[in-house]
Each structure stands twice: as structure tokens, then as C-alpha cells.
Amino acid sequence: MTQVISIQPVTRIEGHARIDIHLDDAGRVADARLHIAALRGFEQFVVGRPAEEIPRIVSRICGICPWMHHLAAAKAIDNCFAATPPPAGHLLRELCQVLAHVHDKILHFFFLAAPDFLLGAAGDYAARTIMGLARREPELAAEVVRMRQLGQTMLERFAGKAIHPVAAVVGGFAKPMSEAELRDLQAGGQALLDFACRALDYAREKVFARFEDDDLALGTIATGFLGTVDGQGNLRFYDGVLRLMRPDGATSEFAAADYARHLAERVEPWSTAKMVYARAWNEGFSLDPEAPRGVYRVNTLARLNVCDRIATPRAQAELEAFRARFGRPAQGTLLAHWARLIELVYACERVLELLADARIIDPVVRTPAEPRAGRGVGHVEAPRGTLIHDYTTDDDGCITRANLIVGTTHNIAPMNLSVRRAAAGLVAEGEIDAELLNRIEMAVRAYDP
């Protein structure tokens, strides 16, 4: 008979998850699984709602990245109603999105992940927290907290709500940006960029420089990747084409609207969450740790792997350094943290870039829309990966069908592999302690589910 060891809840991640480690009689890892069990039912209860209300409803899928769902939905509904937002509408939406990325990345790296590296994976769990960090490095903690707050406040001051936003509307944006707001945001954006660079330097020195091989090996697997790029292959968060990269680096591109031809969803009998795999590879789907099939990853590392370059100087420089050391694609699971901070720099640079675009203060921010029957797919790159919203409306412009693929859904398959891999690598003769279990969780945290 096999013994099952559970880690519940998986902590310092967004959401509820459980890890079950199955040991055989010899105490070897027979299997390890990540369970994410929550029936939210958004696909159900958006049905019948007026489509223009959807962006304000689906934001509640995630309180950490509500902007991503807000925008993906807004874009999808634009398409349902065939409403084309004016330039300022798009610029304002993207501005909000990249600002949202900023707070998210700070949160994830410093609040959730960093304690493992800076305070040590071992030792008293109570100390291995942002609070512990605050006691160890008060100034750093204080700055981290303030900068995160700054990003959020900038959003709130301009767009009303930072958490569960309301400002993106079908056809564009609810309000234009005033000169005063522009100046205010530019100042804040600069401060954020400065911090982002400092943060990356700090992490490179205090964390990444200390990555040992076993760190890099933790939960590392060989998979494909999915992300968004523009026509020139530049990294994009707000729009662009989806680029799917095979484990060997070969890539193919497709429009988000065609996602169903390239990706497929399925549910494993033992699992309560959908999984997505690359239908385009025509190899089916398998979680066999030795020979996984159809498995790809999304999220920071994936994006940096699939993009050819980043269109902002600082981030581009960091990307080059990163590639020089880890190659492309880089498979190390924990490298996601590094990639995350590079994206943080990109996000801050992009904020300033957008604010520098004269069109952003154009008072025309919204194209009035007419309800109609239609289908619309909207996608954005969320901190947690590629986010796809797919809606169908009836003649009254009310939702008849919805399909949502969130970042974490893409990653559930690879996360299971990583957990299995990590557990197998760490557990010997059933000897299990808190540090070991935490290390297994670290493999999950890297994905920022």
C-alpha cells in the first residue's frame, strides 16, 4: 500500500492548492500531484449577462491580476460587438495593464518567493515571510511595500479602482487622461523604473548569483513555451500574436482567435482542474515524467523564451545577459523569478514609453457600441501567463457561451511534472521534513500560480 503525504495548503501562492506525494512501500516517490480545486463557475454565470458588463464581472476571477481579466474580456467584447476603440483607448488600457504587472511582480518576488532565498528554505516557517524579511532588511521591505503601493495608487488615482477595475469598457476606456494626470503618472513611472533596476541588481547579487546547480535543477523539466510577440518578435503584454515554441526551440505563430485549433483543454480523471496542451504538435497529451507530450509552459520564463527581443533598452540588455548565460529556451524552473524581474523592468520602461505617446491624452477614448450577436476572443499576457477570454453573444448582446483559459491553466500540467520531478529528486527512503516539503513548494511558487 502507498502512503500519501499532503502539503495543504500550498502557501505563498495565489489561491488554494494541495500537493499529494504518493510514496511506495520502499518510501520512493510513486507519484506527486498538484490539486487545484475550486469551482468558481464563471463560464456558467456570465451566461445571460449583457456583454458590456462582463469586464467588470470576470475581474473577480483573480484579485491579484484583475486588470488582466478585465482587459482580456474588454477586448473580447470589442470583438463580439465589432467595436474598435480609438488609439487613446488602447493606449490607456495598456498603460493600466503594465502598471498592474509592476505591482504583481513586486508582490510575487518579494512577498511570496524571496523569503525562500533570502531567509533560507529551512527553519521556522513563521520567520520565512515578508514580515521576517521586514525584520531582517527593514529598508528594503519598506521600499518594496511603498513601491508596490505606488504602482497601485497610480492606477487608482487615474482609473478609479486598482483592484477589480472598471475603467476599461467595450469600445475603449471610460475616461480620458488629463495633462495633470499625465505629469503625475510620469513622475511615478520614473520612480518605479528606478526601483525596478535597483531591485534587479539586488536580486542578481543576493539571489540569482547564489543559484546553485541543484537550485537550477529544482523541478526543472523540458517543455515547450507559449507567449505573445508583435510582428517583429518583440515581447508584448497587451496585444500581438501567440508564439508557441517546441522544447527544441522551433516556433509557430497564431492569432488568439484561433487558439482552439492550436491548443486543447482536457481534464485528467484524478484532477479537478482543466489542463491545456499543444494540439498543434499532434502528439496528444501525456504527463509521463520521462516523456511528457503536448506540455508547454507560459508565464515570465516562457515569454522571454519565445520573444526575439524586448523593445525597451534596459530590459533588452538584461534579456541579452540572461540568454548569454542560460541559452534559449531556458528550462530551469526557478529562472522564472529572474525573468520576472526583467519583465518588471520592461513594464516600468513601457509605462514611460506609453506616457510619452502624445495620443494618450486624446479626449476621444471610446467608440460607442451596439449590442449584436457575435463571437469574440480577447487575450493578454498576464503575469501568470497567456490569458484567453472567448465569448459568444446573442442578438441582444448577451452572453450565450464563455470559455476562459487563464495562465495557471496552461501551467497545471508542467507544474505537476515539476512537483513530481522535485519530489523524486528530494525524497529518499520516505525521509521527509518541513524544509524538503517547502523546497517542493518552491518548485510550484516559481510558476506563480
CB of 323 to another protein, least distance (A): 33
CB of 281 to another protein, least distance (A): 16
DSSP 296: E
Is the Cβ of residue 141 or residue 298 nearer to another protein in the bound state? 141
Could you tell me which of 78, 31, 442 has the C-alpha nearest to residue 256?
78
CB of 204 to another protein, least distance (A): 25
Query: How far is Cα 189 from Cα 186, in angstroms, rounded to an integer?
Result: 5
Is the Cβ of residue 119 or residue 335 nearer to another protein in the bound state? 119
Residue 66 burial (CB < 10 Å; 0-12/13-18/19+)? Answer: buried
Is the Cβ of residue 143 or residue 308 nearer to another protein in the bound state? 143
Is the Cβ of residue 162 or residue 287 nearer to another protein in the bound state? 162
Phi, psi (5° rounding) for residue 119?
-110, -5
Amino acid at 19: I
CB of 302 to another protein, least distance (A): 22
Phi, psi (5° rounding) for residue 309?
-155, 170
**Cα 422–426–431 angle (5° rounding)?**
135
Q: ω into residue 9 within 30 of 0, thus cis? A: yes
Is the Cβ of residue 176 or residue 329 nearer to another protein in the bound state? 176
Cell numbers given for 292: 511528457
Is the Cβ of residue 248 or residue 370 nearer to another protein in the bound state? 370
Question: Would you say 273 and 36 are in contact if contact means Cβ atoms under 8 Å apart?
Answer: yes
Is the Cβ of residue 306 or residue 388 nearer to another protein in the bound state? 388
DSSP 267: E
Residue 213 burial (CB < 10 Å; 0-12/13-18/19+)? Answer: exposed
Is the Cβ of residue 141 or residue 348 nearer to another protein in the bound state? 141
Strands 224-229 and 241-245, by their bridges, are: antiparallel
Question: Would you say 242 and 296 are in contact if contact means Cβ atoms under 8 Å apart?
Answer: no
CB of 78 to another protein, least distance (A): 12
Is the Cβ of residue 292 or residue 332 nearer to another protein in the bound state? 292
Give the H/E segment covering residue 302. Answer: helix 300-306
CB of 417 to another protein, least distance (A): 19
Could you tell me which of 134, 135, 128, 126 has the C-alpha nearest to residue 113?
128
CB of 311 to another protein, least distance (A): 29
Tell me how crowded residue 220 is: count the other CB atoms within 10 A of its CB.
22
Beta bridge partners of residue 50, listed in sequence order? 398
CB of 380 to another protein, least distance (A): 18
Query: How far is Cα 394 from Cα 316, in angstroms, rounded to an integer?
Result: 44
CB of 64 to another protein, least distance (A): 5
